[in-house]
Amino acid sequence: MRQTWRWFGPTDQVSIDDMLQAGVQGVVSALHHVPTGDVWTPEEIARRQQEIATRGDGSPSGLAWDVVESLPVSEAIKKQKGEWRQHIENYKVSMRHLADAGIEIICYNFMPILDWTRTDLAYRVAHGGTCMRFDAVDFAAFDIHILQRDGASDDFLDTICAEADRRFAEMTDARKQELTRNVAFGLPGSTESLTLDDLRAHLAEYGRIPPEQLRANFIAFLEEVAPLAEELGLRLCCHPDDPPFSLLGLPRIMSTEADYKAIMDAVDVPANGITLCSGSLGARPDNDLPGMMRRLGDRVHFLHLRNVQRESDQVVGSFHEAEHLGGGTDMVDLIAAVLEEEARRRKAGRKDASIPFRPDHGQDILDDLKRRAQPGYPAIGRLKGLAELRGIITALEHPAFGLSRGS
């Protein structure tokens, strides 16, 4: 398992030097400044590679840009509206440029409008640090009373609606504003931020798009890009929906094992793979992460390892981001499943036998609380997560256990 770390570029509060001290082996990054839909030029790609390869004092870091996260899919492609054909052509050109630069793994997602969505970015946990949290009642209050979306109340359980009404009646203006910011602006690394009116305009554009239509649009995109990825020796990996259920009346189609399978079967080439994100998928009680790794592992090109604590048994329920070995996912079993898959790949002589993973989000602890990085991406919280995950890997790969190399 290759230990990687997300870096948002030179503006990231966490530097290349910091990640070297965390023991990182490879870097995950993106050209966040290039507008979605535009081509990633060879010059811009080379510049980011150079930044990653260099320490603060100008000496070589020994690190390389291993994984692109994300080469974003435009809303036009997701809706099949406007310039969507041009955007697909541009996507393919960017893929060629990345392949020419020697970068093989491309993560993306197919969530309409919003990427990950949380109601709280700095929720206080018992140990004194903070984490990100999704509160289903606050989210319903936002949807019904702040966004005032048509039909919003039909999308939540009656009990949640009643609570949301009460919660909203007591909500301060400051919290209303914060909630709006947190929900509408949860776009990691993005330079765009949405106002309520932007969000309403985006929603109107989608209309009442049925899940089958969104899935068909996704498959049409994959039919264009997956064969090219295969030809160029690239691996595409779709990140799941976060949270893994419908939000704002929009369908989400990468939330379950069945969703993943449908998409991989529809365009059945190895380059059409997935990012298994245990934190995103784990927010749903019916997702069995170690089982998914064992059943879909062949096409898992990238992993995000983190944990969430569900606070209810409902599919649309509250949860918060737990410590990496806390929460509902059995991380030891999940990592065992990854090592089994790697052993199979080594036996088959596959060159992708070492699967890159990153600790994904971390809680804010110690000095993270002073040096506020990108929400979810603090230095120390992620370093702690990575160190714990590395401990499990080291133990499971120890010759005293059955999972050591080549077994």
Among 332, 343, 334, residue whose Cα is nearest residue 388: 332
342 near Mn ion (CB under 5 A)? no
User: Position 57: which residue type?
Assistant: D
Question: Per-residue b/e over 320-339, b at no fewer than 16 CB within 10 Å?
Answer: bbbbbbebbbbbebbbbbbb
Q: Pick one of 40, 84, 116, 139: the residue that binds ligand CS2 (CB under 6 A).
A: 116
Three-class SS state of 252 = coil
Report if residue 358 touches ligand CS2, rule: CB under 6 A: no
Contacts of 183 (CB under 8 A, 6+ apart): 114, 117, 118, 119, 139, 142
Closest contact distance (angstroms) between CB of 188 and ligand CS2 is 4
Report the b/e string of 228-248 with b at 16+ CB within 10 A. Answer: bbbeeebbbbbbbbbbbbbbb
* Closer to ligand CS2 by Cβ: residue 153 or 190: 190
Contacted entry of Mn ion, ligand CS2, none for residue 70, CB cut-off 5 to 8 Å set by kind: ligand CS2
Q: How many residues bind ligand CS2 (CB under 6 A)?
A: 14
> Considering only CA atoms, which of 46, 85, 41 is closest in space to residue 64?
46
234 binds ligand CS2, rule: CB under 6 A? no
* Catalytic residue list: 239, 277, 304, 360-361, 377
Binding ligand CS2 (rule: CB under 6 A), the pick from 38, 44, 51, 115 is 115
If one asks whether residue 138 binds ligand CS2 (CB under 6 A), the answer comes out as no
Q: Are strands 272-277 and 235-239 parallel, antiparallel or unpaired?
A: parallel
Residue 136 Cβ, how far from ligand CS2 at the closest point, in Å?
Answer: 18
By the rule CB under 5 A, 304 interacts with Mn ion: yes
In angstroms, the CA 132 to CA 181 distance is: 14
Which residue, 161 or 274, has its beta carbon nearer to Mn ion?
A: 274
341 vs 360 by CB, closer to ligand CS2: 360
Handedness of CA 155, 117, 307, 168 (dihedral sign): negative
Q: Which of the 8 DSSP states describes residue 349?
A: T
277 sits near Mn ion (criterion: CB under 5 A): yes
Instruction: Give the nearer residue to ligand CS2 in terms of CB position, either 143 or 360.
Output: 360
- Nearest to ligand CS2 of 119, 340 (CB atom): 119
Rounded CA separation 273/235 (Å) = 7
Kindly calculate the radius of gyration of the chain based on its CA atoms and give it in whole angstroms. 21
DSSP state of 240: P
Stretch that binds ligand CS2, among 76-84, 103-111, 152-160, 175-183 (CB under 6 A): 103-111
Separation between Cα atoms, residue 73 and residue 253, nearest integer Å: 15
Here's the x/- map for ligand CS2, 156-195, by CB under 6 A: it reads as --------------------------------x-------
Asked whether the beta carbons of 276 and 304 are under 8 A apart, the reply is yes
235 binds ligand CS2 (CB under 6 A): no
Shortest CB 341 distance to Mn ion, Å: 19
What is the per-residue binding string for ligand CS2 in 362-381, x denoting contact by CB under 6 A? --------------x-----
Q: Which is nearer to Mn ion, 138 or 360 (CB)?
A: 360
Q: How far is the CB of 30 from ligand CS2 (least distance, A)?
A: 8
Q: Please report whether residue 241 would count as binding Mn ion according to CB under 5 A.
A: no
Q: Looking at beta carbons only, is 115 or 224 nearer to ligand CS2?
A: 115
The residue with tokens 């870091």 is 61
Minimal CA–CA distance to 181: which of 167, 169, 170, 196? Answer: 196
Does 82 engage in binding with ligand CS2 (CB under 6 A)?
no
CB of 179 to Mn ion, least distance (A): 22
The listed partner (ligand CS2, Mn ion, none) that binds 203, CB under 5 to 8 Å by sort, is: none
CB 357 within 8 A of CB 2: yes
- Footprint on this chain of ligand CS2 (rule: CB under 6 A): 69-70, 107-109, 115-116, 188, 239, 242, 277, 304, 360, 376
